[in-house]
Every structure is written in C-alpha cells, then in structure tokens.
Amino acid sequence: MPYDDSVPPTRRARPLLVAAALAALCLTAVAGCGGAQDPAGTDTGAAKPGPEAEATASASGSASTPSPEASPTGAQPSGATPTAPLPQGPLTGRTVVIDPGHNPRNREHTKEINQQVDIGTGRKECDTTGTSTNAGYAEARFTLDVSHRLRELLQAQGARVVLTHDDDRPFGPCIDERARIGNEAKADAVVSVHADGSAVGNRGFHVILPAAVKGGGADTSKIVKSSADLGARIAGHFVRTTGSAPSNYIGGGTGLDTRGDLGGLNLSTVPKVFVECGNMRDPEDAALLTDAGWRQKAAQGMADGIAAYLKG
C-alpha cells in the first residue's frame, strides 16, 4: 500500500496511449487480462486500508505534528555503489531506483513517521507502517524481498541499481526523501514496490501513475507521459509473467490508476510509478504474495517491463 495513501485514489481518465500499450501487451498474456474489472466494468472505489494503514486525514494528508523535512537518519541510499563490477548487458549505463515500500521497523517509530513533510501540494506523514496479511506477513517484508529479487535481475542486465533503503535504518525514509533519492540519482526509471490492504474479494495488481500536478515544489509535467509508458509496460509484463489479472477494484480493469495525492510521485522529476502487487487482505491474493516462487515471478514481470521501457 502506498506510504502516503491516506486520501482515497483520484480517478482520472487514462491517456489513450497507455491503454493501447497495455492492451497490446495483454494480447499475448493470460486470458482475462481485459476482463478483470467488476461486472459493471467500472471502478468499485478506493482500497479500504487494513488495521496498519494510515489514519483518514484532511485533503492534504493525515494530521500530525509538523516537523523538519530533513532525512530522519541521514542515511545514504542503499545499493548506490555495487560491491562488484556490473556485467555488461542491454541495460549497461542505465540507472534504476527501486523503492521498497515502508520499513519493517516503522511500527516502532510511530512518532517519527507521523511527522509531516512537504509533498509540494500539501503536507503528509513522513511514512506509514503499511499493511499485512491476516497471518501477519508484513507488507514491508514483502517489498524488501521483491526489491532484492528485482535488483538482482536488473543488475544481471548491466543496470546500476539504487535502493532507497535496505532494512538498514530504524524507520523511513520519508516520502520526500524517497523521491529525492531517485531525483539525485538521475534515474532512468524509479519503481516503488507495494502491496495493497483492501477488502476480501478485491483482487489483482495495479500500477499507480503520476497525475499532472503543479504546486509548491511539485511539478510532474515533464514525467507524466514517460511514467505512463513505464507503467503500461510493467503492467503488461506483470500480467504475462505472473498470470495475475489487473485489479478488479481499481483502474477499471486496465491495471492502471492515476493519482495526484502521493508525495513520492508528486516530487519526482524522473519517470516513476508505484506497483501494488496484490491485495494482502484477500486470502487468494495473500497466498500468492506469501509464495516465494510467485514473488520471483513478480520481480521478473517488473524487470521485463522496466527493460522494455528503457530499451524503447
């Protein structure tokens, strides 16, 4: 679940090029790619947060005590300097930033993560705890596992990979710092890895794209189109590799959702998307998310989509 997801998703029209790109990829995917919407063929509404999700807040985010916007620990992004020379491959010379959603120890630092930071169009919590399966498998553990798998796959193709964190700090990083890490790395693509916490029966994955936002320190005008391309390619390959259908409760069956309330997207100056891999609160989705073999497929689907985007 997005770490600054306290406001219900904003529903916006999808660019035709995004829908066309996804449809083309879905032609060779599993049956039902285009039929994962609800019976009426419309979005059934915003995800219902699980017990660990952030509290409902004002239009600009959850209310909490204002605080400075500096990094909570001053830690450097993880994986910025590979310990061994990267192999030469089709992604040599390209930089990908992977953003594992949340932090396993955020729950131990609620005061710190509830402090608000500037997201350009308002203020929101530094971070949240994320959700979990009913059996207690935390989203933050899931996102780290998938991010490690994704890093290995991309590095094998020659990409320089930076993680925003690697379970190497007590909490965070805050949402503004997560965006800043991608910007300062001059990333060719940034992918934030998540899992949702919605109602039972709500199934499938979706990719969140940045809306056209301009205000304060936020201006996504230069990345909306490229991010939509990145998201559509990831969605198509995710279907093909995992066999999972696009969300039946967000995105109208496209697997794509455009939002303007997420600081991690609003503050990005490089192409960036969020990938919600499934719903941890649905037993059928949870069975996939807790399976190591499926998590490898999820990482492969994302890696294939990123590679397709970077290769043009």
Q: Is 5 a domain residue?
A: no
* pLDDT value, residue 85: 83
- Find the mean pLDDT for residues 243-260: 97
Q: Of all residues in the chain, what percent carry a pLDDT higher than 90?
A: 71
- Give the H/E segment covering residue 276: strand 272-279
For residue 42, is pLDDT > 80?
Answer: no
276 is annotated as an active-site residue: yes
Q: Is 261 a domain residue?
A: yes
φ and ψ at 303, to 5 degrees? -60, -40
* pLDDT value, residue 77: 58
Query: For residue 286, what is the domain's CATH number?
Result: 3.40.630.40
Catalytic residue among 52, 125, 139, 276: 276
For residue 202, is pLDDT > 80?
Answer: yes
Q: Is 7 a domain residue?
A: no
Q: Is 125 a domain residue?
A: yes
For residue 97, is pLDDT > 70?
Answer: yes
Per the structure, the complete domain to which residue 166 belongs is given by 16-33+51-67+77-311
For residue 61, is pLDDT > 90?
Answer: no
Q: Is 276 a domain residue?
A: yes
**Token pair listed for 173:** 């990083």
Q: How many domains does the chain contain in total? A: 1
For residue 264, is pLDDT > 60?
Answer: yes
Q: Is 182 a domain residue?
A: yes
φ and ψ at 158, to 5 degrees? 95, 0
Average pLDDT, the chain: 82
pLDDT bin (cut points 50, 70, 90) of residue 84 is: confident
Q: Is 1 a domain residue?
A: no
Q: Is 280 a domain residue?
A: yes
Give 105's DSSP letter: T
* pLDDT value, residue 57: 29
Other beta carbons less than 10 A from residue 170's beta carbon: 13
